[in-house]
Structure 1
Amino acid sequence: MASPTTKQILTDLSPVLKLYTDGTVDRFIFSPDVPPSPQHPTAAVSSKDTATPPGRLYLPKLTNPTQKLPILLYFHGGGFCIGSPFSSLCHRYIETLSLSAKTLIISVKYRLAPEHRLPAAYDDAWTALKWVCSHVLDQTDFDKDPWIANHGDFGKIYVGGDSAGANIAHNMAIRAGSDPLPGNVKIFGTILSHPYFWGSNPIGSEPKEDIEQHMLYRMWVLAYPDAPGGIDNPMINPIADGAPMLSGLGGLKMLVCLSEKDVLRGRGVAYVEGVKRSGWKGDVAVVEVEGEDHCFHVYDTESEKAKNLIKRMASFISN
């Protein structure tokens, strides 16, 4: 018989996390939070935290005080269960991308599963997108952020992310294609880097047997246990039968980034093919990096291949 102080494991997703029967969670993959970089005349990129909605804003050094910059809403990865925009890993990466792309970036903090099951993260992302777009309105019920209000180009709003964050970005583009945003603002483009999509029918290098035991399958079930359709819910499998038509995606262009060794590569390719077949009126581009694995550029921004991929993202945003 277990002692009263022994916690009982409900779900073991080691080496990522463990969920206990009392609702507590141990997360084993994380990087420590770091403070933002205060605005300074010599700073290449300044950053600050926001409370409502929570997240971190990045502003590269301006060439003139009235300069307008593209806006990117970024959603971090972590299987909907781990990660933070304040982590050293995310901060370094987004700071690098902001500088390279000369882009104002809002790195969104969304609620994590399993404490906050999906669709909580999707709801938080949509709230953040509406908040940014609301800055175009003359009257708002909140104090506008001066970085966004003074330097954001609302004709160049992007949504993007890595892994689960790319999944969120896709779902924001789908929603923005049908639901109006404040001020009738439109998404201009989407960046999906190593998107976390999955499904019941294996694609590419996905396991052909015992797929329900795969970490990526189990992580979705943990994050959204009551998802209609389970692993073929359109939010995780956008090419499933009955999923919203990809022709309805918001935006005029899309960049999908994949890596040769990533188990998610095949499904990313299938997603791109689905977008092209759908008759979507935008332009979709794909970049695939040889010899690399899932989200390699986030973990090491200084490698040559990471630098090249970040430059490709920057070019997509600036052109």
Structure 2
Amino acid sequence: MGSSSENIIIGEIPSYITVYKDGKIDRPRETAFVAACVKEIGVSSKDIIISQNPLISSRIYLPTSNNHNQLPILVYFHGGGFFFESAFSQLYHNYFNTSIVLSQLHAIVVSVEYRLAPEHPLPVAYDDCWDALQWVASHSTNNVINTEPWLINHADFNRIFIGGDSAGGNIVHNIAMRAAIQPLHGGLQILGAIYAHPYFYSSKPIGFEPVIGHEESLPYLAWNFVYPSAPAGIDNPMINPLAPEAPSLSGLGCSKILICVASNDALRDRGVWYHDAVKQSGWKGELQLFEQEDEDHVYHIFHPESEHAKKLTKLMASFIFQ
């Protein structure tokens, strides 16, 4: 008897994602989706459609216990290697509810639900996130589709921030580079960018990255999985901002940057590498690096009520309001 097509694996990152010949995809590490809630203590949330074609959506959070008439906007890109997790997942919903209430993050958060690989290989996610940012910016003008009253009534469009963790931190970089050459609606500018444990990589190991087995490391495998057609592969400028063909980091389209790393994170050295490269590029904005000792990758997302997580989120809040 021949094997059933439903059991034939055609793509896999072990323990993270398995793709079967019949089209089924398992993402065992993905947390369950949860509903938005308008009446949670200190914060309201709801789901909104940004675009029907392509389908881009978002979960938006509004602090309800604040004394600010106009709030800064944080357009946020979740992590998950470009192939799992969601703006609607329990993991990220809990993080934003907790961070807004406990860490006084008084900002409107637009958490973007971008399309994932392998169903939608990169660069789709970058385009979705750019379109979401443009949709937010369009609320500053009279040219907006799918109007969102929380933005119209409460947003300060002079204080737009972008942020993300892991793969989302990588998206932050690519959006900031795009903003330098492509204007936002209304002539708006990105004020600041927050990179939390950003996902960068290259064909040459740096720091404590393994030399032997480098091509079998998770960041290397994940990039080839989510962007199999990437020109130059792992040295594509979108994952390696110091690649020979990469544009100068001096052109980053924002006024200030906060880069956060964790000492036990396998991507820690990449965050520092990126910080040093921006510093040496001639970029004219304000640059800040924060490192948390004795923590691992995206600890603040997994344990938002921990003291270290609250410390990090308060730093983000200070970065937004300073």
| 1:123 and 2:123 correspond | no
Q: Give secondary structure in 2 for the equivalent of 1:267.
A: helix
| 1:83 and 2:80 correspond | no
Which residue of the partner structure matches residue 260 of structure 1?
263
Which residue of the partner structure matches residue 36 of structure 2?
36
**Per-residue CA distance 1:8-39 (angstroms, 9 max, x = gap):** 11222111011223333111101111111114
Determine the C-alpha separation between the residues in 2 that align with 1:290 and 1:315.
Answer: 20
Match for residue 106 of structure 2 among 102, 109, 132: 102
> Conserved in 1, the CA contact under 8 Å of 2:6 and 2:24?
no
Determine the C-alpha separation between the residues in 1 that align with 2:143 and 2:126.
Answer: 26
Determine the C-alpha separation between the residues in 1 that align with 2:151 and 2:72.
Answer: 10
Aligned-partner residue type, residue 293 of structure 1: D
Aligned length: 315
Shift of 1:95: 2.0
Shift of 1:314: 1.0
CA RMSD of aligned residues (A): 1.4
Which residue of the partner structure matches residue 47 of structure 1?
45
Which residue of the partner structure matches residue 24 of structure 2?
24
Match for residue 113 of structure 1 among 102, 114, 117: 117
Determine the C-alpha separation between the residues in 2 that align with 1:244 and 1:95.
Answer: 37
| 1:61 and 2:59 correspond | no
Aligned-partner residue type, residue 90 of structure 2: S
> Conserved in 2, the CA contact under 8 Å of 1:165 and 1:195?
yes
Q: Which runs of 5+ in 2 are unaligned?
A: 51-55
Aligned-partner residue type, residue 51 of structure 1: I
Which residue of the partner structure matches residue 53 of structure 2?
none
Shift of 1:138: 2.1
Aligned-partner residue type, residue 232 of structure 2: G
Which residue of the partner structure matches residue 309 of structure 1?
312
Which residue of the partner structure matches residue 161 of structure 2?
158
> Conserved in 2, the CA contact under 8 Å of 1:167 and 1:196?
yes
Q: Which runs of 5+ in 1 are unaligned?
A: none
Which residue of the partner structure matches residue 232 of structure 2?
229
Against the structure 1 CA distance between its residues 281 and 31, is the aligned structure 2 distance closer, same or farther, given a 3 Å change threshold? Answer: same
> Conserved in 2, the CA contact under 8 Å of 1:204 and 1:265?
no
Matches within 5 A, 1:225-304: 225-304=228-307
> Conserved in 1, the CA contact under 8 Å of 2:99 and 2:310?
no
State the identity %: 49
Q: Give secondary structure in 2 for the equivalent of 1:252.
A: strand
Determine the C-alpha separation between the residues in 2 that align with 1:4 and 1:252.
Answer: 55
Q: Give secondary structure in 1 for the equivalent of 2:7.
A: coil
Determine the C-alpha separation between the residues in 2 that align with 1:185 and 1:269.
Answer: 29
Shift of 1:139: 3.5
Matches within 5 A, 1:171-250: 171-250=174-253
Larger deviation, residues 90-99 vs 102-111: 90-99
Determine the C-alpha separation between the residues in 2 that align with 1:302 and 1:280.
Answer: 35
Q: Normalization by structure 1: what TM-score?
A: 0.95
Shift of 1:189: 0.2
Shift of 1:267: 1.2
Against the structure 1 CA distance between its residues 5 and 228, is the aligned structure 2 distance closer, same or farther, given a 3 Å change threshold? Answer: closer
Determine the C-alpha separation between the residues in 1 that align with 2:276 and 2:175.
Answer: 20
Which residue of the partner structure matches residue 3 of structure 2?
3
Aligned-partner residue type, residue 117 of structure 1: P
Q: Give secondary structure in 1 for the equivalent of 2:310.
A: helix
Determine the C-alpha separation between the residues in 2 that align with 1:9 and 1:209.
Answer: 27
Determine the C-alpha separation between the residues in 2 that align with 1:220 and 1:87.
Answer: 23
Determine the C-alpha separation between the residues in 1 that align with 2:263 and 2:217.
Answer: 19
Determine the C-alpha separation between the residues in 2 that align with 1:256 and 1:316.
Answer: 11
Shift of 1:303: 1.2
Shift of 1:63: 4.2
Q: Give secondary structure in 1 for the equivalent of 2:37.
A: coil
> Conserved in 2, the CA contact under 8 Å of 1:159 and 1:189?
yes
Against the structure 1 CA distance between its residues 138 and 230, is the aligned structure 2 distance closer, same or farther, given a 3 Å change threshold? Answer: same
Determine the C-alpha separation between the residues in 1 that align with 2:237 and 2:155.
Answer: 32
